[in-house]
Structure 1
């Protein structure tokens, strides 16, 4: 133990000796560590495939925004227009949503799409303050600078969307808005004030208590203007977070309107707090807003597809009809239900597989099967 007193006695001199000894011993170690730091090569960083960053400064506000773009593979060569998902708070949630997108696309729940993650740029952006300002539909005196929601929505409408649609093969007719917490509040604000700007809305844990529940007033104003709300809407809330009563109130208010065209689904996520709602909420939200139809077809339509189809390797696949549904039967007798998207296009839920029955001269000639890794035509042999 080093003892330091207020006079230069033996203990003090002994302490100085030990201190010098420690410095002498540790100095070579620090030199070695510094040399190691210089010789260790920089390791590559983890990157998200098929992504890039754009910068867009609003002409109206002067605010710089960073756009985290996730793009379909080979999108420039396909000649297709892609649905667009506009994600709020990309500074936190872009990696999560990119991963969710990959999983849901692989499982056949959603189409290929462009993700536009919106966040704030500039030097050392204060995300908490900037998001509070831009995502709030009204100002509150306790938080100066808030209430810029309409300005931010105008930026998305008049500057961001034109930029995205001019730069990328982005569809103007298939847009989704996704946000959580204050982002969920803003998503509701966009829904009630400029409904048709987006076709699909996904939100979790909305800050519906903001400014004494001003969002309920916006919903009432929309109901007074129109009996229509022609969108797909998914809302989720954590069981363990606050303001659960406010979430139930929002659901009840929407259900009481009987809006024409509204396809709404809601869920209370068991055992989940505020920040944890996004993983499951965004996953189930994408499944809902991009849900394919499951048509009930007449037996005479289904019966024409019943038979045996042969692969290019000579294996026979059977199609049967049971309980007014088509059943795909593999050589090992494994069965899967085919759901009807149209009268000749079918799919398997939770799997990347599209099936299209082909006709020649009015008769079914075969089956085009498209999987994640490629497609094949199966000729009808019986």
Structure 2
């Protein structure tokens, strides 16, 4: 049922990725063109005292949000710079065109700035926030990458996952729960690449924070597979893991596929009664091109019950 519905809605998803953007069009060609705005979406800034960082929050509300007192599931996406627009387009399609998933509140986490500065801040911020341990070679690589773009003033660090998880639990989630009508027991975390690594880190270090996890092309082998230490610590002190996991990669990501299969097999040996894992590899896709299919399919798998 899920796969059939997924295939039928792909074309409509592409349509809604476009139509969810409301364009204020001019009445004649001679008038100045207006900026594009996103329907039912607002941007808010939240300062983290824990990290000393201003985070830019992209918040998309359901169409019915202002017409009642209903509470909604929450999806937090770690890479607003690359994933927010597609996630919003899919959600709009899957809630407007057919009851494939419930209405949700979508929150994308960004780092501010415009143009190339936004890109550079995103690279530096995610490299710091999503990695569990320091790795100087990664810092040097991404610092060089940013310098090539002309942003010498930005420093690149790694190993900030513990602080970022504290930010989520102690600052971001309390803020969102206070400001918006959110189902406190229905929260999802979406992450890809380094973000997928962090999503696994959150799963093993704060399993009560979220109940659904979208993990795309996770960097499981980061720092010689340091995430396995977190998994082992969790397993040593818990007999169950209550979570719904969608984990995926592109079919061309051979190393990541091997890593995902290894982790999947390990988790299944734990025999956690309330752990549900859906694993998908998208044939012909690579680390970049996998994202659209992953988001579309992940929403169906996690929410089309």
Verify same fold: TM over 0.5: yes
Is 1:184 the equivalent of 2:175? no
Equivalent residue in structure 1 for 2:46, among 56, 66, 69 = 56
- One of 149, 171, 177 as aligned partner of 1:159: 171
90, 100, 104: which one aligns with 2:90: 100
Per-residue CA deviations over 1:156-187 (Å, capped at 9, x if unaligned) read 11111111111111121110000111111111
- Where does residue 207 of structure 2 map in the other structure? 195
Aligned equivalents of 2:225, 2:32: Cα separation in 1: 50
Q: How far off is 1:221 after superposition?
A: 1.4
Tell me the residue number matched to 2:13. Answer: none
Aligned to 2:105: 114
Matches within 5 A, 1:267-346: 267-292=280-305
Larger % of strand: which?
A: 1
- C-alpha distance in 2, partners of 1:107/1:138? 43
Counterpart Cα distance in 2 of 1:137 and 1:159: 19
Q: Which runs of 5+ in 1 are unaligned?
A: 1-38, 293-382
Partner of 1:129: 124
Q: Name 2:71's counterpart in structure 1.
A: 81
Match of 1:259?
272
Please give the alpha-carbon distance, in whole angstroms, between the structure 1 residues aligned to 2:130 and 2:263: 19
In 2, Cα distance between equivalents of 1:245 and 1:112: 35
The residue aligned with 1:138 is 133
1:47 CA drift (Å): 2.2
Per the TM alignment, residue 242 of structure 1 is displaced from its structure 2 partner at its CA by: 4.4
Length, aligned pairs only: 254
The normalised TM-score by structure 1 is: 0.64
Aligned equivalents of 1:130 and 1:64: distance in 2? 11
**What TM-score, normalized by structure 2, do the two folds share?**
0.80
Partner of 1:208 in structure 2? 220
Cα RMSD, aligned residues only: 1.6
Q: Which moved more, 1:141-150 or 1:258-267?
A: 141-150
Larger-gyration structure (1/2): 1
Matched residue of 2:280: which SS?
A: strand
Q: Which has the higher contact order (CA 8 A, sep 6+)?
A: 2
Contact between 2:86 and 2:295, CA under 8 Å: does it hold in 1? no
* Residue equivalent to 1:226: 238
User: C-alpha separation between the residues in 2 aligned to 1:259 and 1:171?
Assistant: 25
**Structure with a larger share of its residues in helix:** 2
| Unaligned runs of at least 5 residues, structure 2 | 1-28, 140-155
